[in-house]
Every structure is written in structure tokens, then in C-alpha cells.
Amino acid sequence: MNTHIFYKYQGAGNDFIVFDNRNGAFDANNVDLVRRLCDRRFGIGGDGLMLLQQVEGYDFEMVYFNADGREGSMCGNGGRCIVAFAQDLGIIGSETDFLAVDGVHHARMHDTVGWISLKMVDVSEIREEGDAYLLNTGSPHYVKQVVGLDTYPVVEAGRHIRYSNPFRKEGINVNFVEAEGDGYYVRTYERGVEDETLACGTGATAVALAMAKLNKVEGQVETPIRVAGGRLNIRFTKTADRFTEVFLEGPAEFVFKGEITW
């Protein structure tokens, strides 16, 4: 049994356990351990777990695990949180380039404390499926407009879509959206967590892009997104059906530090 130091960060209510794994001590193949640590009753608790690791040519590598213990696709809120963690460790200054599962990401700290801009992948394909949109913003997403989102059965409806035949094997994140002022209100059912989360960064990004396609918006676009855990901002450039210079902006805050033994 060894004692390990962990850190807890949150971005708009999306919370993560983070380990400094530059020494390679954390066994990334231990699915049961990751699942147990993410458990909110028997572990530390979190929507996911991240390892900050050394990698040649970049400031660090981000390795992300869903709460079910399996290594996941890109997590936007997690990406901002691990950038804040890297700065707190003294690894980076106000800007960084790091490696994640979907490639290289650039991030920048703003003058507003805790507010971080994270560059996301370019998107060139958004498929329509009935009244919904399918796209990948580093993670696969299903976007559907609804009325009365405050009382909408997000978990029940999201789970039904996530486990439907087209998505049953690999899973998909399901975002329900309603127009609100000059932006949108979004609630997300996340695969890997298998529940609604207070925020989803790649999901908020997917919603902003899908709504730009729906509304035939062109040029430089900025879209405020409200989620249960706070507010995010998505900005990008749209040319025909191609989305470039996509940035997810929002808070990333240290919550606490602790020790755990296994």
C-alpha cells in the first residue's frame, strides 16, 4: 500500500481527479482503480480522472479517463482544468501547447483569474439525422433542440439515444439545447459517466457549431452557452461547412488537494 497525492479541479461544475504522473507511477491500465477513485461514495468522486504526463516536444500530455474507468476521448472542460493544474505546478506560464488523445491543443490564460481559452479540433462534417445533428468535436456528439429544457427528462431521453442501435457499442454524448437570449442553454447526458453532468465542454462546442449550421451563420462567430454548472463561451470561424479556429472558453478552478492510499 502506497500513499498518493491527488488534486481536484472543476470547470463549470464538471469535476476531475488529477494526478501528476510525470514519474509514471499511476497504472493507466487499472480500470478498477480509476472507477473506484471516481466513485462518489467509495472514492474521491469525479466525472473523470486525468493524468498529466511528460511527452517529448510538448509541455505535457493529457490522458483522460471516464468515470467508468476506461480511457476516454477528448474532454474540453478537463482540458482547461489540466492546463490550470500545469500552471499551478509551475510547468507552464500563461500559454501552452499540450498533447491529448485527439492531437495537439493550444491554451491561453486570460487576465480574468481562472478563465482559460482552449483551442479545439477543426470540424468539417456535421451530419443531420432527422431533427438532430451528429458531429465530433474531439468526442462524438448528438445535438437536439427541445422546448422546456428545464424540465426535460435528460437522463431518460439521453440514455435511450446513447444505447440505441447506432450508438450502443461506442456510445455517444447527447446534448439537448434550447435558444436563450443571444446564446443557448444546454444539458448533456455523457457516455462513460452514464448520467447528466453539470457541463460538457466538447458538448457545448458541438451545440455552438450545430446551431451555426442550422442558422446558416458565416464568418467569425461567438456563442455564449449556459450549462447547469455555469457559463461557457465558444468562438470559431465558419466558412461553408468548415469550422476552424474553434475555441472553448470557460472557468477552471482548483478545488482541493488530498492523499489516498492503494
Q: Which residues is 238 bridged to in the sheet?
A: 219, 243
Of 245, 199, 246, nearest to 225 by C-alpha is 199
For the chain, what is the largest distance between any 2 Cα atoms, rounded to a whole number of angstroms?
Answer: 58
- The catalytic residue among 75, 172, 221, 225 is 75
Separation between Cα atoms, residue 29 and residue 69, nearest integer Å: 9
Which position among 17, 200, 208, 252 bears the catalytic label? 200
CA distances to 98, 142, 149, 242 from 156, in Å: 36, 15, 13, 33
Q: What is the DSSP letter of 262?
A: -
For cell 490564460, name the residue. 109
CA 253 – CA 248 distance, rounded (Å): 15
Do residues 64 and 95 touch, judged by C-beta distance below 8 A? Answer: no
CA angle 167, 245, 95 (to 5 degrees): 105
* Cell of residue 196, nine digits: 447528466
Going by C-alpha positions, the residue among 248, 258, 262 that lies closest to residue 14 is 248
CA 248 to chain centre: 9
Active-site residue 38, yes or no? no
Catalytic residue check, 75? yes
Query: Looking at the annotation, which residues are catalytic?
Result: 75, 200
